[in-house]
Amino acid sequence: MALIELEGIDRSFQLGDTTVHALAGLDLRIAAGEYVAVMGPSGSGKSTLLNLLGLLDRPQSGTYRLEGRDVTTLSPDEQARVRSARIGFVFQSFHLVPRLTAAENIALPMTLAGILPAERERRVAQALRDFGLEHRADHRPDQLSGGQRQRVAIARATIMQPPLILADEPTGNLDRHTGEEVIHLLEALNANGVTLVVVTHDAALGARARRQLVMEDGRLKQDSTVP
């Protein structure tokens, strides 16, 4: 059974009196444990696809089955529960809460899910070690470098141990070297069985993925798997 099944997905935006088809009749299956890079020119619908996979957005038509369950018809609160337990997000601009420390930012999904403080502390301590942030636990985002911020964001995305990580240009705001570090971290997660979908327009980074999707005008132009 595929982890993700998209069938005939349409998502269009009304801009004045023109309709932009961000996603048009998209079919896609992603199996559990895959490492997928989504590439394509700006405006081709990559972010729209990722938001849809992350249940942040709904298609106008088509079905989305996540782990075999049709999630497009779920209520907003049910979708929130799915996001909480099954999906981790990593964003280009990190999206850390500026007034919270690194540790608090990492703990945020658990706090929102109502996990008890003792368990939160245990998992955050482990995550800080895993991502080399032991000495940054009490730093606020503005006291961290870009690479550290993205590491905090990745730690946060994985803290609920979701089977699916969605990353939208995670290295877009980082220099080459730091970007590679971040990609290595994400790949290490994938190596442990987490399904990884990364949007990037860096061909070199995209080439590292086993499967590459190239989008154009809301459609899949190419879907190639490295053997």
Partner 1 sequence: MRLPDILRFARDAATGYPVRTALSVLAMSIGVAAVVLLTALGDGARRYVVGQFSSLGTNLVIVLPGRSGTGGFNPANAITSTPRDLTIDDAGSLRRLPGVRRVAPLAVGTSEIAFGGRLREIMVAGSTAEFIPIRNFELAQGKALPEEDWNRGSPVAIVGAKIRDELFPNQPALGQLIRVGDRRLRVIGVLASTGQGLGMNTDELVIVPVALAQAMFNSNTLFRILIEANSREAIPGVKDATLETLKQRHRGEEDVTVITQDAVLATFDKLLGALTLAVAGIAAISLAVAGILVMNVMLVAVTQRTGEIGLLKALGASGENIRLLFLSEAAMLSAVGAALGYVFGQLGAFVLRQVFPVFPAYPPDWAVFAALATAVGTGLLFGVMPARRAARLDPVQALMRH
Ligand X SMILES: Nc1ncnc2c1ncn2[C@@H]1O[C@H](COP(=O)(O)OP(=O)(O)O)[C@@H](O)[C@H]1O
Judged by CB under 5 A, does residue 200 bind Mg ion?
no
* Cross-strand pairs, 4: 30, 66
Q: Is 15 helix (H, G, I), strand (E, B) or coil?
A: strand
Candidates 174, 185, 183; CA nearest to 209 is 183
Q: Residue 131 touches which of partner 1, Mg ion, ligand X, none (CB < 5 to 8 A by kind)? A: none
Per-residue binding letters, 21-60, with Mg ion (x by CB under 5 A): --------------------------x-------------
CB 215 within 8 A of CB 45: yes
Q: What token pair was written down for 145?
A: 């470098």
> Given the complex with partner 1, which of 29 and 58 has the nearer CB atom?
58
Judged by CB under 5 A, does residue 79 bind Mg ion?
no
Cα 104 from Cα 137, distance rounded (Å): 8
Element (H, E) at 100: none
The alpha carbon of 116 is separated from its chain's Cα centroid by a whole number of angstroms, namely: 25
Q: Residue 95 touches which of partner 1, Mg ion, ligand X, none (CB < 5 to 8 A by kind)? A: partner 1
Site for partner 1 in 78-107 (CB under 8 A): 80-81, 83-85, 89, 91, 93, 95, 97-100
Judged by CB under 8 A, does residue 109 bind partner 1?
yes
What does the DSSP 8-state code read for residue 119?
Answer: H
Q: What token pair was written down for 20?
A: 């932009």
Judged by CB under 6 A, does residue 146 bind ligand X?
no
CB 190 within 8 A of CB 3: no
> Given the complex with partner 1, which of 151 and 156 has the nearer CB atom?
156
Binding site for ligand X (CB under 6 A): 13, 15, 20, 22, 40, 42-48
Instruction: Give me the residues that bind partner 1 (CB under 8 A), please.
Output: 51, 54, 56-57, 76-77, 80-81, 83-85, 89, 91, 93, 95, 97-100, 108-109, 111-114, 116, 156, 160
